[in-house]
Copies of this chain bind each other. A is one copy, B any other.
Amino acid sequence: MCFSHEEPELSIGEISRRLNVHKSVVSRLVTALCSKRMLQKDPKTRKVSIGVGAFTLGALFIKRVPLEQHAAASLSRLVETVEHSCHIAVLEGHRLLTIASAETRKALRVILRTGEYRYLHATAGGKLLLALHPGLLEAVAESTGFPAMTTKTITSLARLRKELAGIRSAGFAWNFEESTRGAGACAAPIFDASGQVVGVISAVYPLSAVSKTDFAAIGDKTREAGRLISVSMGWQPEICRSEVPSIAAARFVPSARSRVHQRVEA
């Protein structure tokens, strides 16, 4: 778990230092995990990285996320329509986890990788989830807070509350350079049969490549994709539309983790 997207490969010594475990132990552990293909080692550079076994296991997890099963097809379709990279993300603890991504072929594009975590307060999808999950904003405020990613990141609780109120009434969220300089995004919610928000679908684009008229179109298409996925998951538009916030509220549990993951502990 000391590997990350920033440092996908480490030497034995680096791992040893990070984990505060002696080199000999790391060496033995790495060889053991390599034999099970959970790690792999470049014989030339001697750097260690995640192995194919982990990928196989990870695929097993994502297969069991109902959202991913329904969203895959709509996602690639959305990419073709809006001509920008699109993503499906879910709430994971106090962060936003990208579980599926489809990239446009354009040279100028924003790249978000599957499996990557991002802040809730600085992303369109994250703000949408903050808006639809009562209590979540406060929980995040107490734990990680709202670090600034760019000069446009909303870092104050008061301003976030205001922003979320607008998102709540619109049922849709935008992001203008709050996470990455020059990049914008929009996100639509995805509901399941019970009317609960289970994730978001978002389009991410370089602001320089989007004209004013494009914005509306991208937003509409994204919203429509979210609606389609919701329907395929059993969501009943006519029944739930007006009730969405309340149902989402009723179903929400403070520890958002507990729904998907069970912390087993006395």
Q: How far is the CA of A28 from the CA of B230 in the complex (A)?
A: 38
**Beta-carbon contact of A103 and B72 below 8 Å:** yes
- Interface size counted on chain A using CB atoms at 8 A: 58
Copies in the complex: 2
**Contact string, A78-107, partner B, CB cutoff 8 A, digits 1/0?**
011000000000001000010101111100
**Beta-carbon contact of A41 and B97 below 8 Å:** no
- Known A1-B53, A73-B105, A77-B80: A115·B58 in contact at CB below 8 Å: yes
**Beta-carbon contact of A59 and B92 below 8 Å:** no
Within 8 Å by CB of A60, from B3, B60, B73, B262, lies B3
Q: How far is the CA of A117 from the CA of B63 in the complex (A)?
A: 14
Nearest-neighbor residue (CB-CB) of A232 within chain B: B105
**Beta-carbon contact of B72 and A61 below 8 Å:** no
**Beta-carbon contact of A57 and B50 below 8 Å:** yes
Within 8 Å by CB of A49, from B3, B31, B64, B104, lies B64
**Beta-carbon contact of A105 and B77 below 8 Å:** yes
Main secondary structure of the interface of A (DSSP, over half): mixed
Q: How far is the CA of A116 from the CA of B211 in the complex (A)?
A: 41
* Besides A59-B115, A73-B103, 6 new A-B residue pairs in contact (Cβ under 8 A), listed by A number: A34-B262, A42-B262, A50-B57, A50-B60, A54-B54, A54-B61
30 contacts between A and B (CB under 8 A): A4-B60, A8-B64, A31-B264, A34-B262, A34-B263, A35-B263, A42-B262, A43-B262, A49-B61, A50-B60, A50-B61, A51-B61, A52-B97, A52-B261, A55-B99, A55-B115, A56-B58, A56-B97, A56-B115, A56-B117, A57-B57, A57-B58, A59-B114, A59-B115, A62-B114, A72-B101, A73-B103, A74-B105, A77-B80, A102-B102
